[in-house]
Amino acid sequence: MKEKLARIAFCFTIILIVVVSGCVAPPKDNSSSATGNFFNPDQQTLTTTTPSYVTEVTPFITVTPTSGYRTMPPTTQPAEEKYCRIYTSPENTFEYNTTAIAFDLRSPPMYINYTVKPSNITYKKVIDSKLTGGGEKEITIDTYSPYSWFEVTVRSKSTGEIYLQDGFGTRKGYTEYINRTLKVLKRDNIQVEFKRNNITATAMVWVKPLGNFDDISQFNWTTDCTYFDFNPRDFV
């Protein structure tokens, strides 16, 4: 009797396993599948296939610039941009003197650069050092003479209208730059005047040969000509 009951229980178990297996549906075909994370089985990672309307290609390779400075090749300036010297004043010390030149400036600008050596004066001065407790003290001062000045005037030769007037010396209301470059932009038959007093000064006048001279072969482009900055600097 016991053996018969055991057989019936075994058959019932087999039937139950078959029924349960039949209730599990096979997986559906899908373009996306989910796989578990090894470290977190509950987290799902989606893997999506590439749509048919795009094409996978090799990523574009860009060159990473190297750090540091690069040496740029020097820019060659054309000879046409050179300015040639048309006048140089004598380097002499004058108590009071005026010289003048005239030039038909058809192609500006004109550059006028000068260098001056002012006369110096030395005098004694008494200062009071109350703040430091030193009392009165006599010091020696060496400075430019107030009577030492240089002036450049650019005017119209026909009308006398002044286009530019500048120079050296506080007595005349100018700065104390001993090297300066002045720029004349007016197209005209102009007159340039150099006035000086108690000073040594040398001035030079420069123009562009092209446009100002019909024959430019008279200039030595190597020794008589040079380039100028667009905005010249002044030097003390």
22-55 confidence digits (pLDDT tens): 555 555 555 444 455 544 555 555 455 555 556 5
Q: Is the pLDDT of residue 77 over 70?
A: no
Say how far apart CA 54 and CA 144 lie, in whole Å. Answer: 83
Query: To the nearest 5 percent, what fractions of the chain are helix, strand and coil?
Result: 10, 45, 45
Average of pLDDT values for 139-163? 92
Among 66-75, 123-132, 201-210, 220-229, where is mean pLDDT lowest?
A: 66-75
pLDDT at 26: 52
CA nearest neighbour of 161 among 136, 186, 178, 137: 186
Give yes or no for residue 16 having a pLDDT over 70: no
Q: Which two tokens stand for residue 230?
A: 């667009």
Res 15 pLDDT > 90: no
Residue 64: its pLDDT value, please?
57
Q: Where are the beta strands (DSSP E) in 27-174?
A: 32-36, 44-48, 83-88, 92-94, 97-105, 110-118, 120-129, 135-144, 149-156, 162-168
What domains lie within the chain, and their CATH numbers?
Answer: 80-117+149-226 (2.60.40)
- In this predicted structure, the answer to whether residue 72 has a pLDDT above a threshold of 90 is no
